[in-house]
Amino acid sequence: MLQTEEINQIRSSVDIVDVISGYLPLTQKGKNFFGVCPFHDDHSPSMSVSREKQIYTCFSCGATGNVFKFLMDYENITFPEAVQKVADKAGIAVDLHIKSHHVKTANQELYDIYDYALKCYQNHLNTESGQTAKEYLHDRNISDEVMKEFKIGYSFQKREQLTSMLRKKGYSDKDLLRSGLVIQNEYGYTDIYYDRIMFPLYDMNGRVVGFSGRIYKPGKDFKYINTKETEIFKKGELLYNYHRAKDIARQKNQVIVMEGFMDVIRAFTIDVKNAIATMGTAVTKEQALAIKKMAKEVILCFDGDQAGEKATYACSNELLAIGVVPKIVRLEENLDPDEYIQKYGKEQFERKLDQPMNVLDFKMLYYKHHRDLQNSMDLANYVNDMIEEVSKVEDEVLRELTLQKVADDSGLTVEFLKEKLEQKEKTVTLTTVKPKSSTRETKKMSKTEQAERNLIFYMLRSAEVIKMYQKKVAFMPTEEYRFLAREISFYYKAYHEMNEADFLTSIADKPKLMKTLGKISSLELKEDYTLEEIEDYIKAIQQYNIQYEIDRMKIRLKEEVDPMKKAKYAEKIVELKRKEEAI
């Protein structure tokens, strides 16, 4: 395991501005660089990246950290993986043995159960019992290499087979039920999946957390059975193939979003490896934010039928809500991507990807489909819907072109449509901005809390302020600031200097401290300070602590019946008041 000094050396070997600008556009303003924060629904650049301090801070959501923290949160990876990535970028030869090192988690048993089940299913596909299932996959043009790449397997014909094997491995019935792979019924404990082709489902870190079992023989059973939601499998938070596609998507700066995992697998066979899938469910806000992190260009390529059109509409709205303007590919003949690629081949599908329609053109077609534009009411609804859609897009050229098309459809003038758009946007501004400002006004902060926050802000920047804290502040009243100030003090005692970027590494495994640090870092205070200001912050904290102790003594004095003890409490109160006056 690397020493702290070695980790800090790896961190300082790269420039955080260069690393972050590889994931999102940054614009220099003064000493710092600014970009749209990827960790919340940010529509204007609120993330500041400091080359001097080698840290980033979002002044809106409080996200903060160094280059390791950015990679951890942006790519959904562990700290060792982030260190390895930075070392690779810097050309420093280190091997952290990440793949062989598994940190125990609260749900480790479930992860282990799924790893074991995956191996069982994969092995079973290659037995004589799995021959028919394998032939079915070959008939679907899924090669042995692709089966191996996507770890496709085959579940047992006997309904208790996996259950029995897991029990022999020492797993309890409680954990088997928790896993979602086993069910309890009138026959006892039996497998959920039997005689089905098994497609493993992964979390964002590439761990198997679920399965989708597909029938391969004609019958009345459901075509697919997906794992129920468990502690480790939350369908609305995951994207199929994310772990495999994320690096390629970032290299190409393009991600293709599909509906089903068979679509993604088929795309992979023609060397389209930057595709992910929503697994056939409506896209959630969490999934949309994950997609936003993957690449600037997002292409939606859903099924070509009416259901796929509705899914495209819903997904585009979820993306537009977080500032992502997707492009759209629609497939003819109601085909899904898997069917389209098999029917028309690689070149034709790639042409579709190279010539996607813009989202507003798609919305125009969508709103026209079920409306008669010769009907005044339908036409009015169409125009109002398109004005709403145009208001969601910032690209001025796209807005202008779309308004011209709507004018041609409706017979209205572009000037009239622009006027309606301006009215719409003014209304949105009035209803969204005012409540935020009024909320801020009502949330007042005490003088003491302000002093605590400001003092820590400067402790992060100055050894002189840390020494003043160590000498004069015995206790921070607010728990979250108390713990953070202590951590800063401990760090300074250990290293005899304050490097904010390295300090962030030291608390990377303490999310509560990181959250508090984010609040402190996003304070809009000047970088320089005077000793008088620091003394004022310390004085405010000292006065609070003394007054708190006086109040506590007064309560004891009131409750005490022993005259001698009452006299001692009274004497202590007088002493504290003298101390307060002397500050």
Phi, psi of 423 (to 5 degrees): -60, -40
DSSP assigned state of 128: G
The whole-number average pLDDT for the span 216-245 is: 90
Q: Predicted confidence band at 577 (pLDDT cuts at 50, 70, 90)?
A: confident
pLDDT in tens, 463-516: 999 999 999 998 999 999 999 999 999 999 999 999 999 999 999 888 899 999
Token representation of residue 473: 């502040």
Q: What is the pLDDT of residue 563?
A: 86
Q: What is the pLDDT of residue 474?
A: 84
Mean per-residue pLDDT over the chain, rounded = 90
Helix/strand/coil (H, E, C) string of 506-534?
A: HCCCCHHHHHHHHHHHCCCCCCCCCHHHH
Q: What is the pLDDT of residue 220?
A: 67
Q: Predicted confidence band at 446 (pLDDT cuts at 50, 70, 90)?
A: confident
Q: What strand order describes the sheet that includes 357-358?
A: 275-277, 254-258, 297-300, 327-328, 357-358
**Greatest alpha-carbon span in the chain:** 97
* pLDDT higher than threshold 90 for residue 293: no
Q: What is the pLDDT of residue 434?
A: 42
Cα within 13 Å of Cα(517), Cβ side: 29
Q: What is the pLDDT of residue 38?
A: 87
**d(C-alpha 155, C-alpha 125), whole Å:** 8
**d(C-alpha 337, C-alpha 266), whole Å:** 8
Q: What is the pLDDT of residue 227?
A: 93
The whole-number average pLDDT for the span 433-438 is: 40
Q: Predicted confidence band at 366 (pLDDT cuts at 50, 70, 90)?
A: very high
* pLDDT higher than threshold 80 for residue 173: yes
Q: Is 311 exposed, middle or buried (0-12, 13-18, 19+ CB in 10 A)?
A: buried
* pLDDT higher than threshold 50 for residue 103: no
Give me the residue label for tokens 């070392």.
Answer: 87
Q: What is the pLDDT of residue 433?
A: 45
Q: What is the pLDDT of residue 101?
A: 38
Q: Predicted confidence band at 578 (pLDDT cuts at 50, 70, 90)?
A: confident
The whole-number average pLDDT for the span 121-147 is: 96
pTM of the model: 0.72
Phi, psi of 246 (to 5 degrees): -60, -45
Q: What is the pLDDT of residue 1?
A: 59
The whole-number average pLDDT for the span 393-416 is: 93
Contact 243, 237 (CB under 8 A): no
The whole-number average pLDDT for the span 400-426 is: 92
* pLDDT higher than threshold 60 for residue 437: no
99-103, 317-321, 377-381: range with lowest mean pLDDT:
99-103
* pLDDT higher than threshold 80 for residue 308: yes
Question: Which of the given ranges, 12-16, 292-296, 544-548, has the highest pLDDT on average?
Answer: 12-16
- Sign of the Cα pseudo-torsion (289, 293, 299, 304, in order): negative
Q: Predicted confidence band at 156 (pLDDT cuts at 50, 70, 90)?
A: very high
Q: Predicted confidence band at 425 (pLDDT cuts at 50, 70, 90)?
A: confident
Query: Tell me, what amino acid is at 495?
Result: Y
% pLDDT > 70, the chain:
95
* pLDDT higher than threshold 80 for residue 428: no
* pLDDT higher than threshold 70 for residue 306: yes
The whole-number average pLDDT for the span 68-87 is: 89
Q: Predicted confidence band at 102 (pLDDT cuts at 50, 70, 90)?
A: very low
Q: What is the pLDDT of residue 429?
A: 55
